[in-house]
Chain A
């Protein structure tokens, strides 16, 4: 097949059309609109960087950005620690390995919106009754303060995503040459030494992949945020994705919301490119 052939273009046509109309055109239009006073119908007038200047003074937006960053850092660390631990557990000396994998992975099949509702029940109702039984005041009214709302989101996200990350670590752990581990065991290496000097360097590539996935998923979180806390109390647990949505569709500030969306894209793209760069550098070393 050559690029001049008609068949080449026929094979490509459906996805090219879909990608262009669904991603490329809206992206370009969006960048253009972010420099205007667009209201969803009329383009309005060209205002240059005004929307961008405004958003850096917008406390609600900056708060959501900061909240999202904090959330993402904590989630990435926790999810990777839990995910790797689960992977080591199920590739270890257990017979119920398959059943355990199936269990830990299960939350990932269910949508974030539904998981958020389930956990809303747990944080509000179950935590309250457990708190009453064991006499812990601090378990009352979860999700009604900023701090507990933050940890509620972290717990939900870790519980959901650890199983996904586990699957990625398992793939690398199982591809590890068994002879190395056996030899080190015969040579008298402790469990910690084996992990530190053999397992850890060999799963390092998995770390890059899972870090990228957890970081971008945490940063773009919307459904769980919506169903667990709805951004409350007083918008204090509102993450960037939700803030952009509300600016656009609740306040009808389309151009302004679009400027926020462009900044959001820039941040996500930088995160991704830094990851790719670090990944490449590591590959060269190995």
Chain B
């Protein structure tokens, strides 16, 4: 079926998109202005595209290190969530019993618990065991991220025929080999979804790192941004340069993986 083209709708869509991008435009153009120029005029392009604000923000944010911290925590957490959630979902989907059902529903029910309800005991308990550090944070992400990931993997695994497992077992593979060589590769589409949903959440998380990370130098981007912004509340030129820097990695990621991201979010919500 060929769609007719509606020029009015196209123009309307374009204008709406510009409106949607306006906050980013305003952030970007003002990040090159001087303090005085922002005061005079926030709408037009800067008189001179000066990188001074960026140099200050880059240094004050300790940007390369902060970026590395965010990458490290996100990558390690997401890899652990994928590996362990897929394994757990596999066990729960293959060993059908009342126990498996109870465990599965425990994981799903845990999604109902808002973070604020466990936050205070979590921090005090982990504090007593000296686990308020990056290792502890990654472990917490595994605990909070497992529910949705197991739910998604479990749904996908129910569509993978058991005859595959049996055939591989007859050929002499053990559980571990069956899972990693036969089953896990089949789960690739859902793994992409699980990865994307967890990357978005963990990369942007502020509250949990703010409670767990308390050594200078191991801050993630949102955490560092909070302190940075507090310091420069009255100095918008620096604050905006810092904000722009903070979102550049996300824009690059989005540019390369936009199809997978939108598909992953849609699959995650619909399934």
Contact = CB atoms under 8 A, between A and B. Distances in A.
Interface in A142-183: 159, 163-164, 167-168, 170-172, 178, 182
Interface residues of B, number: 91
B238 to A, nearest CB: 12
Contacts of A121: 26-27, 30, 236, 239-240
A5 B174 CA distance: 13
Interface string B160-182: 00000000000000011001000
Contact of B6 (A15, A22, A92, A119): A92
A55 to B, nearest CB: 14
Given A159-B23, A213-B269, A125 B236 contact: yes
A126 B113 contact: no
Interface in A226-240: 226-227, 240
Contact of A114 (B6, B10, B247): B247
A16 interface: yes
Which interface class (under 10, 10 to 19, 20 to 34, 35 or more) fits A?
A: 35 or more
B95 A2 contact: yes
B205 interface: yes
Contacts of A248: 119-120
A106 interface: yes
Interface in A95-138: 95-96, 99-114, 117-119, 121-122, 125-126, 129-130
A103 B112 contact: no
Given A26-B122, A129-B42, A15 B150 contact: yes
Contacts of A200: none
Q: Which residue among B5, B84, B143, B203 has the maximum number of chain A CB atoms within 10 Å of its CB?
A: B143
Given A15-B146, A106-B254, A108-B200, A122 B91 contact: no
Nearest to B125: A26
A102 B95 contact: no
Interface stretch (A45-53, A69-77, A255-263, A277-285): A255-263
A22 B81 CA distance: 14
Contacts of B206: 111-113, 223, 226
B116 A264 contact: yes
Interface in B70-111: 80, 84-85, 87-88, 90-92, 94-95, 97, 99-100, 103, 106-107, 110
B243 A168 contact: no
B120 A257 contact: yes
B92 A12 contact: yes
B262 interface: yes
Contacts of A130: 43
B207 interface: yes
Contacts of B262: 101-102, 105, 167
A124 to B, nearest CB: 9
A23 interface: yes
Interface string B199-236: 01001111100000000000001100110010000001
A187 B144 CA distance: 52
A207 interface: no
Interface in A169-214: 170-172, 178, 182, 209-210, 213
B205 A111 contact: yes
A25 B125 contact: yes
Interface in B12-29: 12-14, 16-17, 20-21, 23-24, 26-27
A151 to B, nearest CB: 16
Nearest to A245: B116
A201 B102 CA distance: 35
B269 to A, nearest CB: 5
A269 to B, nearest CB: 5
Contact of A22 (B38, B42, B140): B140
B58 interface: no
A79 to B, nearest CB: 14
Contacts of B4: 93
Contacts of A5: 95, 175
B142 interface: yes
A23 B110 contact: yes
Given A209-B269, A258-B121, A264-B114, A109 B142 contact: no
5 contacts: A94-B13, A129-B42, A168-B266, A245-B119, A268-B114
